[in-house]
Amino acid sequence: MSAERTDARGALRAAERTGAELRLEGLTVGYGGAPVLRGVDVRVPAGTIVALLGANGAGKTTLLRTVSGLLPAASGRIVFDGVDLAGVSVEDRARAGLAQVPEGRSVVAELTVDENLRLGGLQRFRGRRLTAAVDGIYGMFEPLARRRRAAGHQLSGGERQMLALGRAIIAEPRVLLLDEPSLGLAPRVVAQIMAVLRGLRDERGLTVLLAEQNVTSALAVADHGVVLNLGEVVADRPAEDLRTDSALRHAYLGF
């Protein structure tokens, strides 16, 4: 291991658990053929919510998976709290406070609600503090508290999304990546999830990168909106502009 990498890991560990800035610089990602992302620049300032918008296939999921380290970048940099993440493993990124809720809710079907939450928290807390952290999540999502002994595969779609989100935030991440959390959920549950994100930003200063096709819900909580089209950033505006300027919305988001 190079000295540079050791320093990077040390810097990541020592950091405080408030929101951190995430910056993507000229990120290009390809699965072998034509690149899926081409020179993408995105800045998510600490303590803000940035909505990542775009149609199916625009590259949103690829972008998130590259940031969390599941996919390698062909070129470009991912900078987390001032530290270049090149060469840092998926596990170390997660331990440093980069949490991802993957698409499809990703609840471990064979584990109970309680076990899923403990799994999310145990890299950061042990013993009583872990139990307290789990109880904190139950306080945030009442429906989960009633199902703590249920296995993941017995949960409804809304319960799964709450569990996936609860499991990602239990370890007090610094940056949260969310891939389509509203997919297939009732509007009431979507509103609840967006309210939790807003609360985390306002109270803890959490940084959120929120990939969504549900543009209205995403822009309602976001500070900023980035629109991807065919792997390139075509708009990067304050959420307010995208919400209110119908010409902009029509040009970039098709409605």
User: How many residues sit close enough to another protein to count as binding (CB under 8 A)?
Assistant: 25
The pair of structure tokens assigned to 127 is 């013993």
Q: Rule CB under 8 A: choose which of 15, 46, 108, 145 binds another protein.
A: 108
| The one among 9, 17, 43, 95 contacting another protein by CB under 8 A | 95
Binding residues among 156-175 for another protein as defined by CB under 8 A:
167, 171
| 99 interacts with another protein by CB under 8 A | yes
DSSP state of 88: -
Query: Closest distance between another protein and the C-beta of residue 26, in Å?
Result: 25
Q: Residues, the chain, total?
A: 255
Among 48, 106, 161, 207, binds another protein (CB under 8 A): 106
Please provide the DSSP assignment of 59-85 as one string: SHHHHHHHHTTSS--SEEEEEETTEE-
Q: Is 155 helix (H, G, I), strand (E, B) or coil?
A: coil
Q: Do 118 and 130 form a contact (C-beta atoms < 8 A)?
A: yes
Q: Specify whether the CB–CB gap between 171 and 99 falls below 8 A.
A: yes
The answer to the question of residue 123 lying near another protein (CB under 8 A) is yes
Verify binding: residue 111, another protein, rule CB under 8 A.
Answer: yes
Binding string, residues 9-48; x marks residues near another protein by CB under 8 A: ----------------------------------------
Q: Are strands 49-53 and 75-80 parallel, antiparallel or unpaired?
A: unpaired
Whether 107 and 165 have beta carbons less than 8 Å apart is answered as no
- For the sheet containing 232-238, what is the strand order? 98-101, 175-179, 207-212, 49-53, 224-229, 232-238
Which CB atom, from 74 or from 108, has the smaller least distance to another protein? 108
Query: Rule CB under 8 A: is residue 122 a binding residue for another protein?
Result: yes
Bridge pairing between strands 22-30 and 75-80: antiparallel
- For residue 63, state whether it binds another protein (rule: CB under 8 A): no
Task: Point out which residues bind another protein (CB under 8 A).
Answer: 68, 70, 90-92, 94-95, 99-100, 102, 106, 108-111, 115, 118-120, 122-123, 126, 153, 167, 171
